[in-house]
Amino acid sequence: MTHGIIAFLADNRLLDVRLMLGFVLGPLAEAQLRGGLSSSHEGLFSLVMRPFSLLFLSLAIAALATI
């Protein structure tokens, strides 16, 4: 059902690629974040302790700031 609605909106140019990627990748990213945080002993603090995660977190904040 959901795929039909997304396909209809995409055919009528009412849905752009960014929104479609958000629909597809959003739940996957949320599940991975939840799994990573539950296996970590530091909780949310582990997002700023490691250099790569700090880099991607700052890139996400910068991308949201430009909207």
Write down the pTM of the prediction: 0.53
| Confidence band of 15 (pLDDT split at 50, 70, 90) | low
Its domain, for residue 52, covers 2-65
pLDDT digits (tens, 9 = 90+) for 57-67: 899 899 989 87
Task: Please give the structure tokens belonging to residue 66.
Answer: 């430009």
Task: Please give the structure tokens belonging to residue 10.
Answer: 């995409």
- Number of domains comprising the chain: 1
pLDDT digits (tens, 9 = 90+) for 26-57: 899 899 888 888 887 877 787 778 888 889 88
Contact between 18 and 25 under an 8 Å Cβ cutoff? The reply is no
Burial class of residue 26, CB neighbours in 10 A (0-12, 13-18, 19+) = exposed
